[in-house]
Amino acid sequence: MSGFKTHTGKAASLKRDHVDTDQIIPKQFLKKIDKAGYGEFLFYDWRYHSQDQENPDFELNKEETKGSSILITGQNFGCGSSREHAPWALKDYGFHVIIAESFADIFFNNCVKNGILPIRLSEKEIQQLYTDGSDTVINQLTVNLEDQQVINEQGDRFDFDFDPYWKKMLINGWDEISVTLQYEDKIKQYEKERIVS
Amino acid sequence: MGKTIIDKLWESHVVAKEVNKPDLLYIDLHLLHEVTSPQAFAGLREKNRKVRRPDLCFATMDHNIPTVDRFNIKDETSRLQVETLEKNCEEFGIKLEGLDSQKQGIVHVIGPELGLTLPGKTIVCGDSHTSTHGAFGALAFGIGTSEVEHVLATQTLWQNKPKQMNVKIEGELGYGVTAKDVILWFIAKYGTNAGTGHIIEFSGSTVRSFTMEERMTLCNMSIEAGAKASVVAPDEKTFAYMDGKAYAPKGNEFKEKCQEWKNLATDEDAVFDQVIEINAADIEPMITWGTTPSMCLPVSGQIPTAESASSAEEKQSIKNALSYMGFKGHEKLENVEVQHVFIGSCTNSRLSDLLEASALVKGKEVHPGVRAIVVPGSQSVKKEAESLGIHQIFLDAGFEWRDSGCSMCLGMNDDIVPEGERCASTSNRNFAGRQGKGARTHLVSPIMAAAAAIHGKFTDVRSMLQNQNPEVDRYVGI
């Protein structure tokens, strides 16, 4: 996985709370056995009225959000099922960053493991990300993981918290399993002392 | 300062502890199923890695499989997923209870049933309802597929220790009020993110009085309150349940283990980050009316309107939910007609759930406007129910009696609720589209589902229990 240091892009606004993973990717698309190609099914029931008819009212179908790589949303994003197909779909669609008031725990971890940066900002801070005079459009945001800052078009900077370990993993794009396999001696020692069976 | 059960479970599994890093936790049991594992096995194969401890892994198929004519999986992609699990288990040497096994069932039903789930263990599975196993005093939580791969390769996970919440439930539940109503009530009152970033210990006299099955129902839906995991301290009921289970320790070893497990209980002077106290007597039979589990009311309730919202976001979410669910607002829940009843899922498909529901339907008939199905949580539950004649009670009343699986809880197989129709469901999620595109799900307890099946609409089950029918009463904890 390539490292994540900074990202600049257009943001799409999905002003909803408690978006569950069933909405992010409905169950009928969980039957594949690989990780690729989920983007076309992202928010499927919201994006499409029927198989070949888009819902023009859905936020991501609007002209001004086309080409977005940052998703802005509300509280408890990604609640529900543990399906990692949700971040796979978001990434495949083109999202690199998700900014929300809060995230569900499993979804948050699943994002980090797939090189998507989930950022928590307050409702008030999120309001200030919007392009002047708009409550739907954000033309450009820059996210800097090293400095832990989101920078809006006006140059205002918003600090965010991030776990130091996962920050390091993301910035370097390290394979987590390779890192853990270096702890083999400690794992063996633990098994020996506790006789895990 | 004393330690909580959560501290004790956590600390006994730390393999490595370093500054500025999460703890590296050892995983004692890794449950696998067909939907969230294929990419994890593929990842191992790609890097030429092995499964570190296949003996601590255990697999079954449950999400995708048919509940009628179970060996005939018509959907090609479902069949491929099931076959992929079979191949992966064979290649990596993992024990699989497949479709042809009498031990097959929903992963969260068979773990405890087989004695794989034990107090003091860390348990993970690529499924959010892994929280169920916390009922036994295990630290159990759902993980994503990358973490599944990590556990397969290393038998560990990097985890930051969550905050801790004590949810104390005291007193006796009212007549006809079940564990399902307790957890629905909790989510309705405190919200779907009440537990985010926390592990919950459920304690108090109500929880102590619960059977293991009731504790499982409670812990199962703690994820719907956003909790990382939930746990109930093991006690004599836990030990009695585990005694004699296939994979549980036997004889003297079991006795010694019971002593050890007793010590897991939270110390008297331990401190939680948050404490919530609940009076069991406040809880009524509950029904969800909307599209998140917190949109839930007592059976006597009236569906809200968007005007009752306290913020613009809430107003919009009530509006969306009312529109999806086909309500205008102000309707009385008790008059809402249902076309489907589903008794099943990892929340409510165990023998006790089926016994309670069957006691209520005995000698009655499913309403002509209703299609009702019972999907036992495992083939063992099915067999046991059949030996008790429970299946006949359901069949005589007009229910369908199926093979085990996740079924209509998420409709990955053919068990789907058609668009615009309503289902009284004993499952755990009422998200839009969960049971089928446009399907309208109402979460309820098994006895409330049975009552809805008979009347064709939601009915306060307590009105049906007023006859003091001893057979019914026995199963509703009176």
Q: Are residues B206 and B312 in the same domain?
A: no
Q: In sequence order, what are the residues at sequence separation of 6 or more whose Cβ sits closer than 8 angstroms to the Cβ of residue B224? A: B183, B187, B192, B293, B428, B429
Identify the domain boundary among B239, B274, B309.
Answer: B274
Which own/partner pairs from A139-144 qualify as long-range (CB within 8 Å, at least 24 positions apart)?
A139/A10, A140/A8, A140/A9, A140/A10, A140/A11, A141/A8, A141/A9, A141/A10, A141/A11, A141/A70, A141/A97, A142/A6, A142/A7, A142/A8, A143/A6, A143/A7, A143/A8, A143/A70, A143/A97, A143/A117, A143/A119, A144/A5, A144/A6
Report A:96-135 residues touching B (Cβ under 8 A). Answer: 102, 104-106, 109-110, 113-114
CB-based burial, A126-148: b 16+ in 10 Å, e otherwise: beebbbeeeeebbeebbbebeee
Q: Helix, strand or coil for residue A14?
A: strand
Identify the domain boundary among B274, B298, B318.
Answer: B274
In a domain, B377, yes or no: yes
- Looking at residue B478, its pLDDT comes to 37
Quote the crossing angle between the two packed helices A164-172 and A105-113, to the nearest 10°. 30
In a domain, B245, yes or no: yes
Number of domains forming the structure of chain B: 2
CA distance B437 to A45: 8
Q: Are residues B27 and B156 in the same domain?
A: yes
- Looking at residue B15, its pLDDT comes to 98
Q: In sequence order, what are the residues at sequence separation of 6 or more whose Cβ sits closer than 8 angstroms to the Cβ of residue B396? A: none
- Looking at residue B470, its pLDDT comes to 52
CB atoms within 10 A of CB B38: 22
Report B:277-316 residues touching A (Cβ under 8 A). Answer: 292, 313-314, 316
Distance from CA of A13 to the nearest CA of B (A): 14
In a domain, B450, yes or no: yes
pLDDT digits (tens, 9 = 90+) for B381-419: 999 999 999 999 999 999 999 999 999 999 999 999 999
Q: Are residues B95 and B208 in the same domain?
A: yes
- Looking at residue B477, its pLDDT comes to 44
- Looking at residue B71, its pLDDT comes to 95
Q: Are residues B301 and B264 in the same domain?
A: no
CA distance A93 to A89: 6
pLDDT digits (tens, 9 = 90+) for A99-122: 999 999 999 999 999 999 999 999
Q: Which of A20, A34, A190 sits opposite B15 (nearest CB)?
A: A190
| A92 touching B (Cβ < 8 Å) | no
Contact B226 A105 (CB under 8 A): yes
Q: Are residues B200 and B322 in the same domain?
A: no
Q: Using the 8-state DSSP alphabet, how is residue B84 labeled?
A: H
Q: Are residues B130 and B262 in the same domain?
A: yes
Asked if residue B357 lies in contact with residue B344, where contact means CB atoms within 8 angstroms, the answer is no
Low-confidence ranges of chain B (pLDDT < 50): 477-478
- Looking at residue A196, its pLDDT comes to 62
Domains assigned to chain A: 6-194 (3.20.19.10)
Q: Are residues B325 and B432 in the same domain?
A: yes
Residue A2 buriedness (CB in 10 A; 0-12 / 13-18 / 19+): exposed
Asked if residue B369 lies in contact with residue B337, where contact means CB atoms within 8 angstroms, the answer is yes
In a domain, B280, yes or no: no
- Looking at residue B471, its pLDDT comes to 53
CB atoms within 10 A of CB A125: 18
- Looking at residue A97, its pLDDT comes to 98
Q: Are residues B107 and B174 in the same domain?
A: yes
In a domain, B279, yes or no: no
In a domain, B321, yes or no: yes
Q: Are residues B266 and B310 in the same domain?
A: no
CA distance B58 to B138: 16
pLDDT digits (tens, 9 = 90+) for B160-185: 999 999 999 999 999 899 999 999 99
**Where does the pLDDT of residue A132 fall: very low under 50, low under 70, confident under 90, or very high at 90 and above?**
confident
Q: Are residues B212 and B309 in the same domain?
A: no
Contact B24 A80 (CB under 8 A): no
Q: Are residues B347 and B267 in the same domain?
A: no
Distance from CA of B313 to the nearest CA of A (A): 7
Full residue range of the structural domain in which residue B47 is found: 5-274
In a domain, B391, yes or no: yes
CB-based burial, B120-129: b 16+ in 10 Å, e otherwise: bbbbbbbbbb
**pLDDT above 70 as % of chain A:** 98
Quote the crossing angle between the two packed helices B38-46 and B145-154, to the nearest 10°. 50
- Looking at residue A197, its pLDDT comes to 52
CATH number of the structural domain spanning residue B437 = 3.30.499.10
| A171 touching B (Cβ < 8 Å) | no
Identify the domain boundary among B274, B301, B316.
Answer: B274
Q: Are residues B178 and B294 in the same domain?
A: no
